[in-house]
């Protein structure tokens, strides 16, 4: 029987690709396709990965999370530089994979985070104005989903709010190379300005940031940069008022898939109204920005980011098209399912269908 003719580049669905490349998708990287959507900016790359299996297929997760973890570890292993990561659901698996990657390499990330060795720093891109003892506070989040894997116990096990707050403060005092911005809800105006200045000083001292990992919101927000606002400020951080859309999506329990909603409800205090965030300038000057978007609920936002007409004011992620450093959009097939991709620039590119 004559050998089948090689397939010419052209439209192909993710389903068909998985059928013909199933063994490849079982590898840890599981790369399905890579392309550069903007001829004017070859530093912007879109990568679609399959799903990684664990425990004989009993547990699967988007391989994009593992790729992001590898990028953080690669920076950490240099012993220098700064990495900023997000909260919410997007990075939870990434934090888990980073921990296991450290174990596989025999790499003691904890020694870097405490400042015992090296000049590597790790922080978060934003933080909310909320009581430190409340589960919704991002400092609690960072311990719960990441730092407790490095010997810290969950602050949620401490029922007394005063003792919990004391434990959180002690934890971050020990981890000299970790910074998570926050403002206590009961802070005075003067104290709030001091917390903003502290975050500003921390970011400025480490800019340009080497690596920023971030999620993509369904409305195009990244960090706490609200659609419809102008972010031309020269300052790298700012205190912002949170818009209704994100307050409902993250904290009002209307999206049970959101880790922020699951971690603790806000019935008594209401969702946070203000937050600290890095600004557009930090993203634009960073050495590398990695955006992670997985799941079908992100497909429309991904389509708008890649295929939509540029409108950074109404869709903040669009300004990354002009970023100076590398920008990598990491997707799974579900998030990539609505993309309209054209052949070009010597890339092997396909139109991706559901």
- CATH code at position 193: 3.40.50.1360
Residue 261 CA to residue 179 CA, distance in Å, equals 23
- Give the range among 17-21, 49-53, 156-160, 193-197 with minimum mean pLDDT: 17-21
What is the number of structural domains in the chain? 1
In percent, the amount of the chain with pLDDT more than 90 equals 60
Residue 260 lies in a domain: yes
Does a structural domain hold residue 350? no
Cα distance between residue 16 and residue 166, in whole Å = 54
Return the pLDDT at 78.
Answer: 96
**Cα pseudo-dihedral 169, 174, 177, 179, rounded to 10:** -10
Give domain status of residue 298, yes or no. yes
Q: What is the pLDDT of residues 138-151, one digit of tens each?
A: 999 899 999 988 87
56 within some domain: no
Q: What is the pLDDT of residue 260?
A: 53
The number of C-alpha atoms within 13 Å of 346 and in the hemisphere containing its C-beta is 1
Domain that holds residue 256: 65-325
Let me know if residue 336 belongs to a domain: no
Residue 157 lies in a domain: yes
Kindly indicate the confidence band of residue 235, based on its pLDDT and cuts at 50, 70 and 90: confident
Residue ranges with strand state E in 88-145: 119-124, 126-128
> pLDDT tens digits, residue range 165-204?
999 999 999 999 999 999 999 999 999 999 999 999 999 9
Q: Is 49 exposed, middle or buried (0-12, 13-18, 19+ CB in 10 A)?
A: buried
pLDDT of residue 321: 94
Residue 266 — very low, low, confident or very high, per pLDDT cuts 50/70/90? Answer: low
Q: Is residue 147 part of a domain?
A: yes
Mean pLDDT taken over the chain = 83
263 in a domain, yes or no?
yes
pLDDT of residue 7: 34
């Amino acid at each position: 029987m004559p050998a089948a003719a090689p397939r010419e580049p052209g439209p192909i669905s993710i389903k068909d690709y998985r059928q013909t490349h199933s063994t490849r998708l079982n590898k840890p990287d599981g790369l399905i396709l890579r392309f550069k959507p903007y001829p004017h900016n070859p530093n912007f790359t879109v990568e679609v990965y399959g799903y990684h299996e664990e425990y004989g297929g009993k547990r699967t997760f988007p391989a994009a999370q593992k790729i992001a973890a590898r990028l953080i570890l690669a920076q950490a292993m240099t012993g220098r530089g700064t990495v900023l990561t997000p909260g919410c659901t997007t990075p939870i698996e990434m934090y888990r994979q980073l921990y296991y990657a450290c174990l596989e390499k025999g790499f003691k990330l904890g020694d870097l985070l405490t400042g015992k060795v090296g000049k590597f720093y790790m922080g978060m891109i934003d933080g909310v104005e909320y009581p430190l003892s409340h589960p919704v506070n991002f400092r609690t989040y960072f311990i719960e989903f990441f730092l407790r894997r490095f010997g810290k116990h969950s602050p949620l096990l401490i029922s007394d709010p005063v003792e919990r707050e004391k434990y959180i403060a002690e934890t971050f005092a020990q981890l000299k190379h970790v910074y998570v911005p926050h403002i206590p809800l009961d802070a005075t105006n003067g104290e709030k300005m001091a917390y903003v200045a502290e975050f500003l000083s921390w970011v400025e001292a480490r800019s340009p940031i080497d690596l920023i990992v971030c999620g993509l919101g369904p409305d195009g927000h990244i960090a706490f940069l609200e659609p419809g606002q102008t972010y031309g400020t020269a300052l790298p951080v700012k205190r912002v008022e949170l818009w209704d859309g994100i307050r409902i999506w993250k904290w009002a329990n209307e999206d049970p898939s959101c880790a922020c909603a699951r971690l603790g409800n806000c019935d008594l205090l209401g969702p946070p109204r203000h937050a600290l965030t890095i600004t557009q300038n930090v993203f634009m000057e960073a050495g590398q920005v990695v955006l992670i978007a997985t799941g079908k609920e992100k497909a429309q936002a991904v389509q708008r980011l890649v295929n939509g007409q540029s409108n950074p004011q109404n869709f903040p992620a669009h300004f990354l098209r002009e970023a100076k450093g590398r920008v990598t959009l990491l997707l799974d097939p579900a998030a990539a399912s609505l993309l309209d991709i054209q052949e070009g620039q010597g890339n092997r590119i396909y139109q991706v269908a559901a």
